[in-house]
Amino acid sequence: MYKYILKRLLFLLPMMIIVSFIAFYLIDASSSSPGRIILEAQGVPEITQTLIEETNHKYGFDEPFVVRYFLWMKKAAQLDFGKSFVSNENVSTLILTSFFYTLKLTIATAVTIILFSVSLSVVCVFLKNKFVDKIIRSGMFFLAATPPYLIGIILIWLFSVKFNSLPTSGVGDFSHYILPVLANTIGYASFFFRMLRNSMLENIHENYVYFYRSSGVSEKKIIKHIIKNSLQTAVTAFSMAIPALIAGTAVIENIFAWPGIGRLCVAAIFNRDIPIIQAYVLLIGLFYCVFNILADIINAWINPKLREA
Amino acid sequence: MKKSKLKKIIFTSMAFALIFAMTACNNSEQKAEEKKDSITMAVSEDISDLNAHLYNGSMLAQDMIFESLVRNTEKGPEPALAESWEISEDGKTYTFKLRKDVKFTDGEPFDAKAAKANFDAIQENKETHSWLELSNKIVGCDVVDEHTIALKLSDAYYPTLAELGLTRPYRMMSPKVFENGKTKDGVTDIVGTGPYKLKEHVTDQYASFEANDDYWNGKPSIKNITMKVMPSGETPLLALKKGEINFLFSTDTSGMIDADALKTLESDDKYKVHISKPCSTRYMLTNSDPSRIISDKNIKQAVWQSINKEELCNGVFSNFEKPASTIFAKSVPYCDVELKDRKFDEEASKKLIEKSGWTFDSNSGFYKKDGKTLVLELVYNSDKTMNKVIAEFIQANTKNVGIDLKLVAVEGNVMRDLRSQGKYDLYLDRSWGLPYDPQSTITALFSKQSFLTVTKDLNSFDEMHKTILDAMTTTDESTRKDLFKKELGFIHDEMCFIPLSYSSAIIVADKELGGVEFNQSQFEVPFYKFAY
């Protein structure tokens, strides 16, 4: 098992080198000179050739690509991603602060997604094709098709303006979490709900269920086993959903004015604030890799056959 | 599992969720309404780095904190940190008498030494400010006595005072915050002489300002101003309805508030919608490249007369913007000039196109010449959704007269690249607005980085260029007026711009908030004049 983990971890290294190269290449991939991009990000009204040359020199863009790449990698390894072109603030601080906010939102969302999807799928499986099952399924289908943007606005309108009970946006106490978490959960839960429901329905007809039943094992225990077995298939999907949640909350963060990493990155893309985009790509890349490996490890732990593969 | 048991579980969990939600809904008090000396507003972006000598920060916030020697008003530049000034006969030396009662909010005195330090720091970075002709003209700043400075220019330059009054870069920061006597690489703190000071700034969340009680122009009666960052277009409106914010400001109807939202707010008793005089113009630039169909004057005019601006302003802007017949509204300085209006007239458009040798092809519904369809490309910025609506409106209008308009949606920076490379027929944009209009928008017609592709191949290019240069340097006011009149005539005849609408700055505030007015610059709000 340890050998397997070590093998998987070693795989992380080349992956991260590829990701870092792509992230770094961003600024050179553009048709404009880096100096122009920086000056545009800084809002300079008229960009002259002299200014572009001065800026390129100031930020070291007159050095060859390889030299810059290794310098950047060296600094990135020490978590130094330079300063934002726009606000002149430290990129690491900006990324870490916003990442922390997104993480809080993601953890809360992950918990509610599990609670929602597991409980609803259990209800649906045991009331299969009954009225409640149909209602829940069509409700989930409808919500999955509704854009998160619309869900967010409806939630704010309903709970903040009409009922005047929750804040519209921003961060603060517990009440500020409810609407963004709810909007996020609605967007993602339907996917896991459908997956779990299908997997449970398959499990219900497995031989072990018939065996348990004929051996007189209590229904409660049988259900427990079915849930446990069905969850296994969801592990990979769920592990990959966490980085997806972190990377994909930009829309929700925008509506709820949540100072998270998605919003930071979207703003950086619009402003062409390259150091932030580079750090973001690297971080999210790392997250995808780590969670992928984590999912592999968990699956290998559950199913020893996989370790040999 | 028994059905009844399951039902019980479902209902209990639903009840639990409901209680949970209700208890969590702590009564988020409406702070904005409690204190009647505070303004809480939404802004779409963080205020960023407010260094007054650079361009990253929010102009709205910079104007609250920093002041210049003069202030731009409708009547022209008026005294601010300078009590009075004298201009030498050759127009090359401006001697400013500074106020004696002014201190920066960190306690440093504002005197001739501080003013000189600021001018030196700004000019140290003059290449960055080269878009302002003044930065190229200033050769030095001398301290005459403790409260007098002399600003030396290389040539006479009429917009000197107006450019000094702009939000940036010629505003005064406390020399204590400079880094090694410079400001171009950052400052250690945000300290000015203005009516407000920065109290707290949490990046991407909010910025709060408090009144400067030692302000030389009297204590502001609005004591606290908070800017909450709300990037999404709908959230500010909902926050206003809930009472979390009590103020909205937008430089036009495609920014913080759209026309539909304004209409609902206008009918709401709680708020008042304030609209400024027209301060900028939406227009389309026309490419002068002779290889392009649009360089034909008949085609330019055909496009111009094919657009129903009344309907555009009514349908798209709910009449919050007004139809434009010339590039600048008459209220813009030097622009009260009579110019021939080219009214909406589809038949006239068609005749103009036919005059240029195009024949109507009833199969396709478009004009054709030598087998080629009359196709034009309209480039617009896709960052703002309103532009798409406007572009589609124009497309529908030109189709009625047989012009096939192709829409090219790109991001802001790509758009500027296309403009400088001349890869467009029509280019949807907005003028810089007051106080940059008319001079900066006109001079941009001759700058490679800006609109040179609009004028470069015009027969009257040299004369047009000379006229505006003369207008900028003459020291005689009536000559300048004549020169501007001549220049506006050229621009109108050549149809460099096809004007669409005049837009205004908008404020939505509590009904009780008094003294609401606008600054000469559409990017500033004079909060210190407001009171409950």
Residues of chain B contacting A272 with CB distance shorter than 8 Å: 413
B131 CA: distance to closest CA in chain A (Å): 5
> Considering chain A, what percentage of its residues have pLDDT values greater than 70?
97
Contacts of A232 (CB under 8 A, 6+ apart): A299, A302, A303
B273 - beta bridge partners?
B508
Contacts of B264 (CB under 8 A, 6+ apart): none
- Check B205 against A175: CB less than 8 A apart: no
Q: How confident is the model at residue B305 (pLDDT cuts 50, 70, 90)?
A: very high
Instruction: Please check whether residues A229 and A164 belong to one and the same domain.
Output: yes
- Check A44 against B13: CB less than 8 A apart: no
Q: Please report the pLDDT score of residue B28 as a whole number.
A: 42
pLDDT at A69 over 60: yes
Of A108 and B411, the one with more pLDDT: A108
Of B195 and A119, the one with more pLDDT: B195
- Check A127 against B1: CB less than 8 A apart: no
CA distance B241 to B243: 5
A12 CA: distance to closest CA in chain B (Å): 33
The sign of the torsion formed by the CA atoms of A97, A102, A104, A107 equals negative
Q: Which of B374-378, B411-415, B522-526 has the lowest mean pLDDT?
A: B411-415
What is chain B's Cα-based Rg? 27
User: Could you give the C-alpha distances from B242 to A167, B28, B498, in angstroms and in order?
Assistant: 9, 10, 41
Residues of chain A contacting B452 with CB distance shorter than 8 Å: none
Instruction: Please check whether residues A69 and A110 belong to one and the same domain.
Output: no
Question: Out of B6, B55, B242, whose CB is closest to A45?
Answer: B55
pLDDT at B207 over 60: yes
Contacts of B286 (CB under 8 A, 6+ apart): B294, B295, B300, B303, B425, B426, B454, B495, B496, B497, B498
* Smallest CA–CA distance from A170 into chain B, residue: B205
Burial code of B362-398, b = ≥16 C-beta within 10 A, e = fewer?
Answer: eeeebbbeeeeebebbbbbbbeeebbebbbebbbebb
CA distance A203 to B416: 59
* Smallest CA–CA distance from B202 into chain A, residue: A259
A174 within domain boundaries = yes
A114 CA: distance to closest CA in chain B (Å): 15
Q: Closest Cα partner for A139 from A209, A189, A101?
A: A189
Longest dimension (CA), chain A: 85
Instruction: Please check whether residues A186 and A257 belong to one and the same domain.
Output: yes
Average pLDDT over residues B42-65: 92
Of B417 and A29, the one with more pLDDT: B417
Q: How confident is the model at residue B33 (pLDDT cuts 50, 70, 90)?
A: very low
Residues of chain B contacting A48 with CB distance shorter than 8 Å: 127, 130, 449
Instruction: Please check whether residues A49 and A98 belong to one and the same domain.
Output: no
- Check B238 against A43: CB less than 8 A apart: no
* Smallest CA–CA distance from B131 into chain A, residue: A46
Per-residue pLDDT tens over the stretch B480-515: 999 999 999 999 999 999 999 998 899 999 998 988
Provide φ and ψ at B447, rounded to 5°.
-105, 130
A84 within domain boundaries = no
For the record, the structure tokens of A144 come out as: 């999955």
- Check B449 against A46: CB less than 8 A apart: yes
> For an interface test with B, which of A27, A36, A38, A46 has the most B Cβ atoms less than 10 Å from its Cβ?
A46
- Check B45 against A267: CB less than 8 A apart: yes
Residues of chain B contacting A223 with CB distance shorter than 8 Å: 1
DSSP per residue, A34-60: HHHHHHHHTT-SS--HHHHHHHHHHTT
* Smallest CA–CA distance from A43 into chain B, residue: B55
Could you tell me if A265 lies within 8 Å of chain B, comparing CB atoms? no
- Check A175 against B55: CB less than 8 A apart: no
pLDDT at B70 over 90: yes
Q: What is the pTM of this model?
A: 0.84
- Check A156 against B235: CB less than 8 A apart: yes
pLDDT at B46 over 70: yes
Task: For residue A294, count other CB atoms closer than 10 A to its CB.
Answer: 16
Contacts of B379 (CB under 8 A, 6+ apart): B408, B410, B415, B418, B419, B423, B424, B426, B427, B428
A85 within domain boundaries = no
Question: Are A52 and A240 spatial neighbours (Cβ–Cβ below 8 Å)?
Answer: no
Instruction: Please check whether residues A123 and A233 belong to one and the same domain.
Output: yes
Instruction: Please check whether residues A279 and A245 belong to one and the same domain.
Output: yes
DSSP character for A161?
Answer: I
CA distance B510 to B37: 12
B218: region left, alpha or beta (phi > 0 left; psi from -120 to 50 alpha): left
A18 within domain boundaries = yes
Instruction: Please check whether residues A35 and A118 belong to one and the same domain.
Output: no
Instruction: Please check whether residues A17 and A66 belong to one and the same domain.
Output: yes
Residue with tokens 């006595």: B145
Count of structural domains within chain A: 2
Residues of chain A contacting B127 with CB distance shorter than 8 Å: 48, 50-51, 54
Q: Please report the pLDDT score of residue B4 as a whole number.
A: 54
* Smallest CA–CA distance from A259 into chain B, residue: B204
pLDDT at B27 over 50: no
- Check B204 against A259: CB less than 8 A apart: yes
Question: Out of B1, B24, B449, whose CB is closest to A126?
Answer: B1
Q: If 0-12 CB within 10 Å is exposed, 13-18 middle and 19+ buried, where does residue B52 land?
A: buried
**Residues spanned by the domain of A61:** 2-77
Q: Please report the pLDDT score of residue B264 as a whole number.
A: 86
Per-residue pLDDT tens over the stretch B175-191: 999 998 899 888 999 99
Residues of chain A contacting B206 with CB distance shorter than 8 Å: 170
Q: Residue A221 maps to which CATH number? A: 1.10.3720.10
- Check B6 against A127: CB less than 8 A apart: yes
Which residues 115-154 of A are in CB contact (within 8 Å) with B? 119, 123, 126-127, 132, 153
A86 within domain boundaries = no
pLDDT at B35 over 70: no
Could you tell me if A179 lies within 8 Å of chain B, comparing CB atoms? no
Q: Please report the pLDDT score of residue B259 as a whole number.
A: 79
Instruction: Please check whether residues A70 and A131 belong to one and the same domain.
Output: no
Question: Out of A47, A220, A272, whose CB is closest to B449?
Answer: A47
A131 within domain boundaries = yes
Q: Please report the pLDDT score of residue A208 as a whole number.
A: 86
Question: Out of A54, A168, A173, whose CB is closest to B238?
Answer: A168
A155 within domain boundaries = yes
Q: How confident is the model at residue B6 (pLDDT cuts 50, 70, 90)?
A: low
For chain A, give the mean pLDDT. Answer: 85
A87 within domain boundaries = no
Q: Of the candidates A49, A77, A105, which is a domain's last residue?
A: A77
* Smallest CA–CA distance from B45 into chain A, residue: A267
Q: How confident is the model at residue B299 (pLDDT cuts 50, 70, 90)?
A: very high
Residues of chain A contacting B55 with CB distance shorter than 8 Å: 42-45
User: Could you give the C-alpha distances from A301 to A240, A297, B441, in angstroms and in order?
Assistant: 17, 6, 68
For the record, the structure tokens of B314 come out as: 């009514």
- Check B239 against A169: CB less than 8 A apart: yes
Residues of chain B contacting A87 with CB distance shorter than 8 Å: 46, 48-49, 56, 203
Q: Closest Cα partner for B81 from B60, B103, B59?
A: B103
Q: Please report the pLDDT score of residue B12 as a whole number.
A: 56
Instruction: Please check whether residues A58 and A135 belong to one and the same domain.
Output: no
Residue with tokens 């106080």: B435
Residues of chain B contacting A111 with CB distance shorter than 8 Å: none
Residues of chain B contacting A132 with CB distance shorter than 8 Å: 10
CA B324 to chain CA centroid, nearest Å: 17
- Check A170 against B205: CB less than 8 A apart: yes
Contacts of B127 (CB under 8 A, 6+ apart): A48, A50, A51, A54
Helix, strand or coil, per DSSP, at residue B183: coil
Average pLDDT over residues A33-55: 86
What is chain A's Cα-based Rg? 24
Instruction: Please check whether residues A206 and A138 belong to one and the same domain.
Output: yes
A242 CA: distance to closest CA in chain B (Å): 24
CA dihedral of A92, A79, A247, A185, whole degrees rounded to 10: -80
Longest dimension (CA), chain B: 100
For chain B, give the mean pLDDT. Answer: 88
Q: Which of B8-22, B80-94, B97-111, B215-229 has the lowest mean pLDDT?
A: B8-22
**Number of residue pairs across A and B with CB atoms under 8 Å?**
131
Q: Please report the pLDDT score of residue B5 as a whole number.
A: 56
Question: Out of A32, A87, A119, whose CB is closest to B417?
Answer: A32
pLDDT at B10 over 70: no
Q: Please report the pLDDT score of residue B30 as a whole number.
A: 44
Instruction: Please check whether residues A271 and A211 belong to one and the same domain.
Output: yes
CATH numbers and ranges of domains, chain B: 67-187 (3.40.190.10), 196-276+505-529 (3.40.190.10), 280-503 (3.10.105.10)
Per-residue pLDDT tens over the stretch A270-298: 888 889 998 988 888 888 888 888 878 87
CA distance B26 to B42: 22
Residue with tokens 């020291």: B475
Angle (nearest 5°) at CA A49 between A48 and A52: 90
Question: Out of A42, A87, A168, whose CB is closest to B244?
Answer: A168
* Smallest CA–CA distance from B57 into chain A, residue: A87
